[in-house]
């Protein structure tokens, strides 16, 4: 059984693979950049493992030619045309947010996705009002796996590390949480396999957000 957080006051989420399934949209934008070099399209399954470490890493891994700046610019320019249609909430995400809110918890998002995209998608998906803050790589000096984003969230929410739980879907999320000194639960719904997640030893490992939220809510009297 996963360990339960003590004196929990806030829960922070990753976005891609955790709250939202944006893999179709991300794949479409990756393939747009690839097409600029005459490269054939990749499948969603081929792109999926490279999501979650920021646009630069994504495009380096999936395009591999041209300059990083030019590829990121092309990706960012294209993405709004596919972002909404290619994104949906992960199963159980909406109910999980409402369950955690009902416990009196403050909620936030800390994602390597460009923050303007994350905010637009949360609004489009109808859950923006559930969050007290939304942070992206533009808000801090270093993106995940550096702890800066989580530490900035703690500062803005005025909570201590021991009062926070971070929820992600990748080993990079586990490393980020460890570096920030917060507990971390992961769901096996994103870019990393359940075996790699288990090997990274999170505080809790779940098949989806619904089970995770019930476990957190069960720790409240």
Give the separation between CA 135 and CA 122, rounded to whole angstroms. Answer: 12
Give the separation between CA 53 and CA 37, rounded to whole angstroms. Answer: 23
Instruction: Look at residue 6 in the predicted model and tell me its pLDDT.
Output: 63
Domain boundaries, the chain: 10-21+87-217, 23-81
Helix (H, G, I), strand (E, B) or coil at 47: helix
* 99 φ, ψ (degrees, to nearest 5): -65, -45
Instruction: Look at residue 149 in the predicted model and tell me its pLDDT.
Output: 98
The pTM is what? 0.92
> Would you tell me the crossing angle of helices 55-62 and 68-78 to the nearest 10 degrees?
100
Instruction: Look at residue 1 in the predicted model and tell me its pLDDT.
Output: 43
Instruction: Look at residue 54 in the predicted model and tell me its pLDDT.
Output: 83
Mean pLDDT, all residues of the chain: 94
What's the pLDDT band for 72 if we cut at 50, 70, 90?
very high
Give the separation between CA 69 and CA 63, rounded to whole angstroms. Answer: 13
In the predicted model, what is the mean pLDDT of residues 211-221? 89
Q: Which among 6, 14, 21, 203 is annotated as catalytic?
A: 14
Q: Judge whether 14 counts as a catalytic residue.
A: yes
Strand partners, 139: none
User: Would you give the end-to-end CA distance of the chain in angstroms?
Assistant: 19
Give the separation between CA 187 and CA 44, rounded to whole angstroms. Answer: 19
pLDDT score of 12 more than 50: yes
Fold of 10-21+87-217: Rossmann fold (3.40.50)
Spatial neighbors of 17 by CB under 8 A, at least 6 apart, are 23, 51, 52, 90, 168, 169, 170, 189, 190, 191
Instruction: Look at residue 99 in the predicted model and tell me its pLDDT.
Output: 95
- Please state whether beta strands 133-135 and 106-110 pair in parallel, antiparallel, or not at all (unpaired): parallel
Strand partners, 205: 186
H or E segment and range at residue 184: strand 183-187
pLDDT in tens, 111-168: 999 999 999 999 999 999 999 999 999 999 999 999 999 999 999 999 999 999 999 9
CB atoms within 10 A of CB 207: 13
pLDDT in tens, 96-110: 999 999 999 999 999
Half-sphere exposure of 138 (CA within 13 A, CB side): 9
């Amino acid at each position: 059984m996963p360990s339960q957080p003590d004196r929990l006051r806030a829960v922070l989420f990753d976005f891609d693979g955790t709250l939202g399934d944006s893999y179709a949209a991300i794949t479409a934008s990756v393939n747009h950049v690839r097409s600029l070099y005459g490269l054939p399209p990749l499948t969603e399954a081929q792109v999926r493992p490279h999501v979650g470490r920021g646009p630069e890493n994504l495009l380096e891994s999936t395009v591999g030619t041209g300059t990083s700046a030019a590829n990121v610019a092309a990706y960012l320019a294209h993405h709004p045309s596919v972002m909404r249609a290619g994104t949906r909430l992960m199963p159980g995400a909406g109910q999980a947010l409402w369950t955690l809110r009902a416990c009196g918890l403050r909620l936030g998002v800390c994602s390597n996705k460009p923050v303007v995209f994350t905010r637009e998608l949360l609004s489009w998906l109808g859950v923006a009002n559930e969050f007290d803050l939304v942070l992206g790589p533009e808000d801090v000096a270093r993106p995940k796996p550096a702890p800066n984003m989580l530490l900035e969230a703690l500062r803005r929410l005025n909570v201590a590390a021991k009062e926070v739980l971070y929820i992600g879907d990748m080993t990079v999320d586990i490393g980020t949480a460890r570096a920030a000194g917060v507990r971390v639960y992961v769901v096996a719904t994103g870019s990393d396999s359940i075996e790699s997640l288990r090997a990274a030893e999170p505080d809790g490992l779940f098949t989806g957000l619904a089970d995770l939220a019930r476990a957190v809510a069960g720790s409240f009297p």
